[in-house]
Amino acid sequence: MTNYLDSVNSDWFNHRLGVAMTLVITAFVVLMARLVYLQVVEGADFRRQSELNSIRVKIVDAPRGLIYDTKGRLLVDNRPSYDLGIVPRAAVPLDRTLETLSHLSGIPTEQLYKPIEKIKDSKNYNKPVWIGPDIDRNALAAIEVNRWDLPGIVVNVSPRRDYLFGPSAAHILGYVGEISEDELKSTTYRYYRVGDYIGKYGMERAREPWLRGKRGGQQVAVNAVGQVVRVLNTVDAVPGHNVVLSVDHSLQVVAEQLLSDHSGALVAVEPDTGQILAMASSPSFDPNAFVSGMSHEAWQALITDAQFPLTNKAIQAEYPPASTYKVIAAAAGLEEGLIDETTTFFCPGFFKLGNRTYRCWKRWGHGEVDIYKALSESCDVYFYKLGQELGVDRLAWYAWGFGLGEVTGIDLDHEAGGLVPTAAWKKRRTGVSWQKGETLSVVIGQGFNLTTPLQVAMMTAAVGNGGTRYRPRMIKTIQTADGRDLYAAVPEVRGQLPVSKRNLEIIREGLFRTVNTRTGTAFKSRLQGGIMSGKTGTAQVVGRREDDSGRGQESVVKDHAWFMAYAPHNHPQIAVAVILEHGEHGSTAAAPVAANLIRFYFSGDMQAEKTAGPGTGASSGQE
């Protein structure tokens, strides 16, 4: 055995071991203190952090309600949109991943990189950043196949609004868009969040609370790269309600085709209910472009277009009613007892008031004119004489009685009310007293008169149905997603025309002759069986366009062409108002449009669809 005890003895060792023991215990005390600090002092805080780490609340947006036409044909749908996201933490190396992704998706690398750049300094490197909204199916397939080569890439499916027929009925349907910052601040949109899509125009906007639905949510556990590993809690989203329009899609398409070469509008309405069958405004726009976000240039082009594609001319644009107003003037004359069916005036082609001469549109005159001829040949001189005796204020009273000068109350936003001038109105507005000559302008529907195509259509419907004014309706029913009716439009009477049955029959006869007698202004557009009655109108443009110089000069000088019609004559099922801006003459431009529409409406195609019956398809849950 070694004789080591001489120099290094057991006590010496034990002393050094004691020091070592102290050091070890000190180290462990420090560790223990740290452990207590982390688990006891800061424990609750770290527990919360661990929950935040792994538990996320995932918003599940409700699918927006769908929109159908009156026969249950789907007009507005939701389609899946595949959005590309990236979890920057997991996507390493980032540059290579983005390059591969760019190659597969066809989106430039810089564009993919932009959203990542934005969050670079924040702590959200664990959350996905959305870099490619709405990628197409080919790109999606390519990405799915190459998933292994794309670390940290996620694909999210979200519903996106799809206007199935593009620009067709765009003014009625409207469009959705991402909520703006200003809208978020307003109380109307209290419960909305950044990135939500809301109705911005048309039905989408007017019925936003119905279409919207109720968002749901999921409490999920995610792992370190953000993948959902478990769903802890779910609150189901409630889909929005479906809206069934009274519009008939096939009729709507025909109406749009008939208008396609013009700037103008058309309204077709069911006289007995006030339900809108078609409402077209030309030119139109594609609402799908708004959903995916429009470029600044595209937006500028839309809003500076001289033909105002974004305006629903059927309810927002106001035009002088022109000769369609003669229906009102005739009613006033008959009711006030100034004329009856036997009264005649002589039309030499002009009318003298003081030292001014007012011309009839027919230069050589109509000769002896009674009320039937005055309407069917649209004799101005007959109405000049009548107007002179009636005066502007009495005319105004009848105009109001026919629904002009106030909104019709249709279930769409931004409806314009038009204008019915009176002497008091002019004095208030301009400070100048009413001039007798101005009455002559008013009585033939020019001058200060302003109406919307919808107002003319509703007036036509009332004349057609025997005198009852209905409120126009665009929505037929609103249903829950499973097909339960929440609302069904019932015809709402707004009033009766201030005309007796007998006098109304005189006017209706005048309108019948307009189309169905050889001298009538719309004879060329007559329909087989003489079912259509109507009234032409030509609104003078130059006179009221002095302050509106923004439009192309060559068409500015041309007049607007009007036509109002209903059919069949005895018990009308459809009433139509058409205006073609700068169409020149109601008889040559507008009347054929209305005639073609009505012909289609009573054609085999439409009737075959009709027997299929409404209410099919719209609500699969009912069947």
Q: Which residues bind another protein (CB under 8 A)?
A: 1-2, 4, 7-8, 10, 12-14, 16-17, 20-21, 24-25, 27-28, 30-32, 34-36, 38-40, 42-47, 49-51, 53-54, 89, 123, 125, 221-225, 229
> Token pair 């005189």 is at which residue?
506
* Least spacing, CB of residue 7 vs another protein, in Å: 6
CB 143 within 8 A of CB 132: no
- Answer yes or no: are the C-beta atoms of 344 and 370 closer than 8 Å: yes
Between 20 and 59, whose beta carbon lies closer to another protein?
A: 20
**Smallest gap from residue 145 Cβ to another protein (A):** 22
Closest to another protein by CB, 40 or 303:
40
Beta strand spans in 571-614 (E)? 574-580
CB of 44 to another protein, least distance (A): 7
Specify which residues 74 forms β-bridges with: 68
Distance CA 77, CA 214 (A): 17
For another protein, the closer of residues 89 and 544 by Cβ is 89
* Cα 207 → chain centroid: 10
- Give the residue numbers marked as catalytic: 323
Identify which of residues 11 and 548 has a Cβ nearer to another protein in the complex.
Answer: 11
In the complex, least distance from residue 99 CB atom to another protein, rounded to whole angstroms: 20
477's tokens: 């029913």
Kindly list the strands in the beta sheet with 55-60, ordered across the sheet, starting from the edge strand earlier in the chain.
Answer: 55-60, 216-222, 228-235
**Nearest approach, Cβ of residue 229 and another protein (Å):** 6
- In terms of Cβ atoms closer than 10 Å to its own Cβ (0-12, 13-18, 19+), residue 130 is middle
Nearer to another protein, 9 or 111 (CB): 9
Distance CA 452, CA 473 (A): 16
Closest approach, Cβ 129 to another protein, in A, equals 15
Question: What are φ and ψ of residue 37, in 5° steps?
Answer: -60, -50
Residue closer to another protein (CB basis): 39 or 620? 39
CB of 82 to another protein, least distance (A): 24
Phi and psi at residue 287, to the nearest 5°: -65, -20
- Which of 294-314 are b and which e, b meaning 16 or more Cβ less than 10 Å from the residue's Cβ? beeeeeeebeeeeebbbbbbb
For strands 276-282 and 264-269, give the pairing.
Answer: antiparallel
Report residue 383 as tokens: 């109405």
26, 81, 170, 174, 199 from 290: Cα distances, Å: 69, 15, 11, 10, 11
Residue 518 neighbours by CB under 8 Å, 6+ apart: none
Run of H or E residues at 304: helix 296-304
Whichever of 89 and 551 has its CB closer to another protein, that residue is: 89
